Structure 1
């Protein structure tokens, strides 16, 4: 979620636009496509990962809204709006769902404010996930912290290289939300040599470094939470709606069952 002066320059590869390209979106430039192609040459599965990550988002948000009765979502590190965004999925199930999107990337905020509906129930907050208290203060203006909240970190935590810092960020947010809230989290994993090489190519192509972690390290971020079945699995294996394909990406949904100390 770090932003730089290069965020709005078309000639510099940009993380959100590269991901948009892999997802089949149109909000990207030649430099983004070149960087994305460099990764795909050694790790073609990155395109599948990008698109399956959105299907995972759709499944988990639909589960939370339809089955768990969650009506509030805090989507931290949302990235560029594409198709089937969090508020669209949740509000299709329950029109009164409220969504707070968080990002500090100027490009993301420009696109979000232009493309997404403007309403009291869908709000964009300019903040960095390294500032959880600032995020929470802004979210309290929109969300009821006496009612369950679905907290989402969708493929963004690898921008912070220190796992202890990542765990602290997640824990501080989850400590603030009430019992009955949920953590939704997925991230890329270092489970094959090809994906590791792909991450290296991304940096060589001018993209921001992204830290790939082990499934166990990702699972540790759910410490103290009750995992929803099927637990921590590859993205396509979480309550699949199609063929279960191998991906170097794991995710889970965890429910807060007790107050964090």
Structure 2
């Protein structure tokens, strides 16, 4: 186990709780206790998290197929099995990934897991400070921002309160046309009171309360991007590999997903119905 930073371990961390949902081992008792409480309230949560991870894999594969092999993974958490660099390198061994997270324990674990891998780097920074992220030595050394980059914001923007469009726009403006934006986001759409209870739990227990957004609000995040078909949809519906991946009730998966390609001029986002 890596040396732990001197921080308060009495509060759960969203990154470590997510690691627990995925079956990872990089979490503490306080994280497991909160995760189990959330699952008792909402038994479908592990399936939702797995659907999110499956979307990440499909999205990364799609980006590599488009020829973009540089990844900036914002709010990356802990790179457990099936992480971005593993998926990307399975398709292109030269793929490079910079992971960014503001949780010092998640960053410490990430650096230990990645070791001396020269095609990956980890930055401890808040994604809400784009200038600091983009000027970090790790980003400057590993990514060529004059060439297309995949900006990954998977299951993280619902931890950004208020208007998240300005944060996304700052990264959009820093990368060239043909770069891609990958987003998954928690939503109330199609959900019952369990979504509200889940939001309240994060508000009470963690330092990162949740802000769920509607499909229209998620589409707005893609201003300046052309959405890849099928547009903004529930997680299992974004380019599933097989009908089994969709399941019987994909609308019950409380997450929206989309991938967009940066266009050369900003404008309204086309939608798919």
The normalised TM-score by structure 1 is: 0.91
Structure 1 unaligned residues grouped into runs of 5+: none
The normalised TM-score by structure 2 is: 0.87
Secondary structure of 1:223's match? coil
Contact 2:11–2:205 under 8 Å retained in 1: no
Q: Which residue of 2 aligns with 1:121?
A: 119
Q: Which residue of 1 aligns with 2:25?
A: 26
Paired with 1:171 and 1:204, the residues of 2 have a C-alpha distance of 30
Secondary structure of 1:243's match? helix
Q: Which residue of 1 aligns with 2:230?
A: 230
Contact 1:73–1:152 under 8 Å retained in 2: yes
Contact 2:14–2:206 under 8 Å retained in 1: no
Q: Which residue of 2 aligns with 1:212?
A: 212
1:30-86 Cα offsets, whole Å, 9 max, x none, are 221221122112212221111111111110001111x20111111011001211111
Paired with 2:7 and 2:199, the residues of 1 have a C-alpha distance of 20
In the superposition, relative to structure 1, how do residues 147 and 19 fare at CA in structure 2: closer, same or farther (>3 Å)? same
Paired with 2:110 and 2:212, the residues of 1 have a C-alpha distance of 27
Within the candidate set 243, 251, 262, 1:256 is matched to 262
Paired with 2:236 and 2:181, the residues of 1 have a C-alpha distance of 18
Number of residue-to-residue matches in the alignment: 253
Paired with 1:72 and 1:141, the residues of 2 have a C-alpha distance of 12
Q: Which residue of 1 aligns with 2:99?
A: 101
Secondary structure of 2:142's match? coil
Paired with 2:12 and 2:100, the residues of 1 have a C-alpha distance of 22
Paired with 2:7 and 2:79, the residues of 1 have a C-alpha distance of 16
Runs of 4+ in 1 over 6 A off after TM superposition: none
Contact 1:175–1:259 under 8 Å retained in 2: no
Q: CA RMSD in A?
A: 1.9
1:90-110 Cα offsets, whole Å, 9 max, x none, are 111111111111112111111
Structure 2 unaligned residues grouped into runs of 5+: 268-273
What is the CA distance between 1:6 and its match in structure 2? 8.2
